[in-house]
Chain A
Amino acid sequence: MTKAKVWLVRAILLLWSVQLIWLAWYFAPEVKELAQSVADRRLGEEVRREDPYYRWLQSLAGLIPSGATYIFLDDYEAGKEIIARYHLIPRKHVLLSPNVPPIFLFYKVRQEKAAFVIIRDKERPPGPGLSAALGSPAFQPLDVPGPGLVLQVDYLKVRGEFYD
């Protein structure tokens, strides 16, 4: 092996050693939290229950019958609707944007025979679809404590047979 190669190998080993130290530093907070979970014997469901959003979804699961369909108003990018879908299976999940126009929201409610409309973030100013829904007797807000808003829907009272 030439001298240059020897130095190259040494450089790689040195860089790898630095990499190992960096990895230990990078994963240290995770390892610390994991050690705490192991010490407290907190696993699976118990870890999940620490999340208020999950607790809210659990209360929704108690409210929405398993064969029902719900419309979830949220931005896909927020990554919250996939959590809702995961925990509310086998209920049918329809995602719409919070800015959905009234005509399309009403159409989807009828088309999907939706029983509930769920708004993930109740602090966000309501979009046009939600504003119209709140003014309609077909949508009844329910008192479910949590970060979002839940409306029970009687889809038979909703007009919106077609959408173009």
Chain B
Amino acid sequence: MIDLAVNLLRLGLGLGAVFFVGHGIQALALPISGEWRKLEQAAMNFGLGTVALTLWMLALTLAGIPFSLQVTLVPPVALSGVILILKKRSEKGMVRRAHPAENRKPKTENLVWDRIFLALLALLLLFATLRATFYPMWAWDEIATWGCKAQVYFMSRSLDLTCIEAHNYYPNLVPFLLTYLYLCLGQVNDHLAKAVFPLWGAMLLVILGFLLRRMGLTRTQTRGTVAFFALNGTVFIVHLHLAYADLALAYFALGGAGLIYLWLQDKAPRGSLAVAAVMFAGMAWCKYEGPPLAGTVLLAAALTLLWLRPPGLGGRLLRLGIPGAGLASGYLPWKVYLIKNQIEAGSDHIMGFYPHQLLPSLGYLVDGLFNPFYFGILWPAAFLALVWAGRRLFNSASLFLALFLGGNLLAVILAYVVAPTGAAEFEMYVRATLDRLLLHLTPVAALAVGEGVKELGEGPGANKSPALFPNPHHNPL
């Protein structure tokens, strides 16, 4: 019992350090932190901390320095501490800007529903946390890839790929994070370390909630939409307790795409693009599918701007270079490692063009989107919300959501058309991957649902085009 308590304490401190490191990065990114709520900051800090800590571990690998708790933890924590102290000094005497009033909705809340939605979410997270921490890793990719690598890295105190034959080119954010937690625990304890996944899911839900609030939903609508996202189908719930990289990618994709979406609407707090940049780095560094996914966010944002032609178009397009730089900073270090070690990337997933796989892929995709087993009725609701928007879709930033989601659904089909599988294996290959590819996009689909939900609360006189760049001079950087 004492052992368990000590391990929980070590785990808690280890995770706390991740938040602290993220807090330091956020202090660098945000000119004034007053525009961000504490819980919102914490949810973002977790992602920023994981990116910084694991990229630091990659830097140690490139420098040939073996992992230890001191070497892994002390420099990022110390740097974060210094940044926070300097930030505090520089902010002395500055007036903190209050949270923008325009993002607040009048209090038309329903306390009973508020509590029901919160209780549902709390029950879900309790189940996921217990399920994650009581049972050891035994799902396929946990023991074949992510957890296996973490165990090897911990034992060899380095990025050691000698006993792993497949997927050596996969990025290492998740294995490094688990390795770091093993270093904190002083042992390979794969059930306690899994606590990080329900935490990740909880942070995703918090980010989704704050994005919806900033989009203009009331508190009840926000909580309802978050519950609607979390409790629809089995995929998200199962990934809350699996040591896979897909939940992490969904988190970073939501953070990156969500902040860009707010920025397109001029509803983003200052520093959003810098925070989005780190989210883009996280996308590139946590899964092989991350860089193209991040690329589609940038492409959808650029196309939306070009279509809507807001004032200061050139400057806005240029500012997309900030998340673009984040994407490069998450992608390039690992690419350097792969080139240095002559590791070939991606040949097991992309090879040639197989047009006969096009139609079956389409069928599987439709099944993945509409079969309630996977995502319940979330995707149909998201499509309805986009259709509901009608013409407004084409003269508002909602176009970004449609382009991002539609573009990625096409990309999923394309991914299956270039996948080198035999006819007998194809169905198995799709079934093993499709739900995860859709999971990466589903939180963003929940933002589309949020747009539809917002409409419900708007009376006949409400502003029907809230996303028309109301203040071109506002600089949300």
Cβ of A15 under 8 Å from chain B: yes
**Contact: A82 with B231, CB < 8 Å?**
no
Provide the A1-17 mask, 1 if CB < 8 A to any CB of B, else 0. 10001001100100110
Smallest CB–CB gap between B352 and chain A, Å?
23
**Contact: B131 with A20, CB < 8 Å?**
no
**Contact: B127 with A83, CB < 8 Å?**
no
Cβ of B143 under 8 Å from chain A: yes
**Contact: B130 with A34, CB < 8 Å?**
yes
Cβ of A23 under 8 Å from chain B: yes
CB within 8 Å of A: which residues of B?
A: 120, 127, 130-131, 133-138, 140, 143-144, 147-148, 151-152, 155-156, 162-163, 189-192, 228, 231-234, 237, 372, 376-377, 381, 384, 388, 455-456
**Contact: A43 with B147, CB < 8 Å?**
no
**Contact: B136 with A44, CB < 8 Å?**
yes
**Contact: A90 with B155, CB < 8 Å?**
yes
Closest to A79 in B: B140
What are 13 A-B pairs with beta-carbon distances under 8 A? A19-B377, A23-B376, A43-B135, A44-B189, A44-B190, A44-B192, A47-B134, A82-B144, A86-B147, A86-B151, A89-B152, A90-B156, A90-B163
Closest to A5 in B: B388
CB-CB nearest 4 A-B residue pairs: A44-B191, A86-B143, A82-B144, A43-B134
A contact residues around B147 at 8 Å (CB): 86
Closest to A37 in B: B134
**Contact: B388 with A89, CB < 8 Å?**
no
Selecting from A25-33, A100-108, A126-134, the interface stretch reads A25-33
Smallest CB–CB gap between A50 and chain B, Å?
11
Q: Give the distance in Å from the alpha carbon of A38 to the alpha carbon of B130 in the complex.
A: 8
Smallest CB–CB gap between A44 and chain B, Å?
4
> Known contacts A16-B228, A22-B372; is A82 also within 8 Å of B143 by CB?
yes
Cβ of A45 under 8 Å from chain B: yes
Q: Give the distance in Å from the alpha carbon of A89 to the alpha carbon of B231 in the complex.
A: 37
**Contact: A34 with B131, CB < 8 Å?**
yes
**Contact: B376 with A89, CB < 8 Å?**
no
Q: Give the distance in Å from the alpha carbon of A114 to the alpha carbon of B372 in the complex.
A: 49
Pick the contact of B234: A8, A23, A42, A89 (CB < 8 A): A23
Interchain pairs with CB closer than 8 A, number? 89
Question: What is the interface of chain B mostly: helix, strand, loop, or mixed?
Answer: helix
B contact residues around A15 at 8 Å (CB): 377
Q: Give the distance in Å from the alpha carbon of A22 to the alpha carbon of B234 in the complex.
A: 10
**Contact: A1 with B148, CB < 8 Å?**
no
**Contact: A16 with B134, CB < 8 Å?**
no
Closest to B127 in A: A31
**Contact: B135 with A47, CB < 8 Å?**
yes
Closest to B459 in A: A1
B contact residues around A19 at 8 Å (CB): 231-233, 372, 376-377
Q: Give the distance in Å from the alpha carbon of A27 to the alpha carbon of B147 in the complex.
A: 25
Smallest CB–CB gap between A10 and chain B, Å?
11
**Contact: A42 with B134, CB < 8 Å?**
yes
Closest to B162 in A: A92
Q: Give the distance in Å from the alpha carbon of A91 to the alpha carbon of B189 in the complex.
A: 19
B contact residues around A55 at 8 Å (CB): none
**Contact: A82 with B140, CB < 8 Å?**
yes
Smallest CB–CB gap between B433 and chain A, Å?
16
B contact residues around A47 at 8 Å (CB): 134-136, 191
> Known contacts A1-B456, A27-B237, A86-B147; is A44 also within 8 Å of B377 by CB?
no
Could you list 15 further interchain pairs (A-B, Cβ under 8 angstroms) beyond the known A8-B384, A43-B135, A47-B134? Answer: A16-B232, A20-B231, A23-B231, A23-B234, A23-B237, A27-B237, A34-B127, A37-B134, A37-B135, A44-B135, A47-B135, A47-B191, A89-B148, A89-B152, A92-B163
B contact residues around A92 at 8 Å (CB): 162-163
Q: Give the distance in Å from the alpha carbon of A48 to the alpha carbon of B142 in the complex.
A: 15
Smallest CB–CB gap between B329 and chain A, Å?
32
Provide the A88-101 mask, 1 if CB < 8 A to any CB of B, else 0. 01111100000000
Cβ of A113 under 8 Å from chain B: no
A contact residues around B140 at 8 Å (CB): 79, 82
Closest to B154 in A: A89
Q: Give the distance in Å from the alpha carbon of A37 to the alpha carbon of B134 in the complex.
A: 8
Pick the contact of B148: A31, A79, A86, A91 (CB < 8 A): A86
Closest to B188 in A: A89
**Contact: A93 with B163, CB < 8 Å?**
yes
Smallest CB–CB gap between B112 and chain A, Å?
15
Smallest CB–CB gap between B231 and chain A, Å?
6
**Contact: A43 with B234, CB < 8 Å?**
no
A contact residues around B163 at 8 Å (CB): 85, 89-93
**Contact: B136 with A45, CB < 8 Å?**
yes
Closest to B151 in A: A89
Closest to B377 in A: A15
Smallest CB–CB gap between B119 and chain A, Å?
12
A contact residues around B232 at 8 Å (CB): 16, 19
**Contact: B372 with A85, CB < 8 Å?**
no
Pick the contact of A27: B127, B138, B143, B156 (CB < 8 A): B127
Q: Give the distance in Å from the alpha carbon of A114 to the alpha carbon of B120 in the complex.
A: 54
Closest to B189 in A: A44
**Contact: A48 with B136, CB < 8 Å?**
yes
B contact residues around A85 at 8 Å (CB): 143-144, 148, 163
A contact residues around B131 at 8 Å (CB): 30, 34
Pick the contact of A83: B143, B152, B377 (CB < 8 A): B143
Smallest CB–CB gap between A1 and chain B, Å?
7
Smallest CB–CB gap between A16 and chain B, Å?
6
Pick the contact of A26: B189, B234, B388 (CB < 8 A): B234
> Known contacts A43-B191, A44-B191, A92-B162; is A34 also within 8 Å of B231 by CB?
no
Smallest CB–CB gap between A112 and chain B, Å?
12
Closest to A45 in B: B136
